Structure 1
Amino acid sequence: MRVEIIPCLKDNYSYLIIDDSNKSACVVDPSEAEPIINYLKNKDINLKYILNTHHHFDHIGGNEDLKKEFSSIVVGFKKDSERIPGIDIFLEDGQIWEADNFKAKIIHVPGHTTGHICFNFFQEKLAFTGDTLFSLGCGRIFEGTYEQMYESLNKIKSLPKETKIYCGHEYTLSNSKFCMENDPDNQNLQKKIEQIKKLTSNGLPTIPTTIKEELDCNIFLRAKNLESFSKLRDLKDNF
């Protein structure tokens, strides 16, 4: 399997997980259909599955057009089914979703929304975290609680350290400024910021990151307890 990053809208990323053995693919969180259709048609790849981490429009906006174009199957969280357009397969927490050569464990990670999930392709060590875990950040808490988000991040950070993290937005450079403000002596963070600046100056994505990098550098994953996490989340909301 290989992952292609498809920039969408202003700062969203959608991800194509491509099985070159049979020219088929999944797409994670298609914000819009056109750039995904263009890539797939150009490469003669069939879109078999649409995977949604949560219901926000900038993660499901392309669902219906893609489903119409490719007869794709929409896969999402059972308890969020009324908010995910075109959903066909209803997932539950802890379930192993397996179709063709694609295989992922579903991790329910509420906080940003109540029905947010992460797709952990554990065999390839790839995790698609939507708007729960960002590179050097985490999502705003819209529907859930601080406790839910803290527990959700703990679930993700328990994955193998070499797991590659693919998140929903290119927020890394702005997130790094908040991390530096609150963790100025972190040498791992300082080195990562140098890498981020090189990538962004060349117009390249800062994604994927890894669990190890986030444990070393992400102030939210380094929070020792719920109280300190909650204070950081409030500070970030007003940063």
Structure 2
Amino acid sequence: MIVRPVKCLQDKQSKATAAVDPVEPEHVLKAMESYPDYKLSMILTTHHHWDHAGGNPKLLNELPAGITCYGGSSQVDGVTNILKGGETIQLGDLTIKTLSTTGHTMDHICYYIDKQDDRAVFTGDCLFSSGCGRFFEGTPKDMWSAFSKLLELPNDTKVYFGHEYTISNLKFAHHVEPDNKDIQAKLKWAKQVEITTPSTIENEKLTNPFLRVDLPQVAKLIDSNPNASVTDILGKLRKMKDNF
């Protein structure tokens, strides 16, 4: 697979391409100029917020008729095919599996690809590098269900997230876990690079406090109540981040 930070997913064999959350279509089309043999075949939308779906109609207007625009609900601008979790889409030889990851919005979809040990997941605003999106429409229970699906993916899965919030996320993660060496090292690295995507599932397990709330050593740093549930702790952690 070839993945560009502008969210162009391409299959080398079939020369088919998918754009993920192309909020600024001109950048997608510019990126495609570097791959003249490839054709944009579909749009994959993670959720209906304008900064992810807002560019769909404009991009569709620039493309030949019949291009499919996938999304999780009719709220997605330009959507032609509504998806549920557990469905698959073919992009040439790539099989894209949909994961229903409600919480940030109730139509949120993540897209997972496993091609000969080359794995990637596009997480939109569900999961960021060392952070996550706000719980706008769902509950902590919804979000933990979504995170649990991502945690089940192989550790070497590359995580392509929807926003470059890594440094601020890591500052909060360090606030939560000040003795976490992995967080310290990642924060130092993030300050040295311009673009931090992709992360990996393995790295998120080590540095993302929202994926670590089920660990007793982390839970007690967030909530002193030994009987607090994972979702209680997750909800409290999200409020801490909102006010950080």
Aligned to 1:230: 235
Alignment partners' CA distance in 1, 2:56 and 2:87: 22
May I ask how many residue pairs the two structures share in their alignment? 224
Alignment partners' CA distance in 1, 2:179 and 2:211: 16
1:231 is paired with a residue whose SS is helix
Among 55, 58, 61, the alignment partner of 2:54 is 61
Among 142, 154, 159, the alignment partner of 2:153 is 159
CA offsets per residue over residues 74-113 of structure 1, 9 Å max, x none?
1122xx1x21122222222111222422311111000000
Length-normalised TM-score, structure 1: 0.89
Distance 1:159 1:22, change over 3 A: closer
Aligned to 1:211: 201
Alignment partners' CA distance in 1, 2:131 and 2:167: 10
Question: Map of 1:192-211 to 2, 5 A cutoff?
Answer: 192-199=186-193, 204-211=194-201
Alignment partners' CA distance in 2, 1:144 and 1:133: 14
Aligned to 1:111: 103
- Residue 41 of structure 1 deviates from its aligned partner by 3.3
Aligned to 1:24: 16
In structure 2, what residue type is equivalent to 1:198? Q
- Residue 24 of structure 1 deviates from its aligned partner by 2.8
- Residue 61 of structure 1 deviates from its aligned partner by 1.8
- Residue 22 of structure 1 deviates from its aligned partner by 4.1
Among 94, 114, 138, the alignment partner of 1:144 is 138
2:210 is paired with a residue whose SS is coil
In structure 1, what residue type is equivalent to 2:2? R
Deviates more, 1:34-43 or 1:152-161: 34-43
Distance 1:42 1:207, change over 3 A: closer
1:190 is paired with a residue whose SS is helix
- Larger radius of gyration, structure 1 or 2? 2
CA offsets per residue over residues 143-175 of structure 1, 9 Å max, x none?
111110111111111111111000000000000
1:105 is paired with a residue whose SS is strand
Cα RMSD between the aligned structures? 1.3
1:130 counterpart = 2:124? yes
Aligned to 2:224: none
Question: Map of 1:80-95 to 2, 5 A cutoff?
Answer: 80=73, 82-95=74-87
Contact (CA 8 Å) 2:16, 2:91: kept in 1 or not?
no
1:189 counterpart = 2:183? yes
Contact (CA 8 Å) 2:56, 2:78: kept in 1 or not?
yes
Gaps in structure 2 of 5+ consecutive residues:
215-229
CA offsets per residue over residues 2-29 of structure 1, 9 Å max, x none?
10112xxxxxxxx101223343310111
Gaps in structure 1 of 5+ consecutive residues:
7-14
In structure 1, what residue type is equivalent to 2:208? N
Aligned to 2:41: 48
Between the aligned residues of both structures, percent identity stands at 39
Alignment partners' CA distance in 1, 2:12 and 2:133: 33
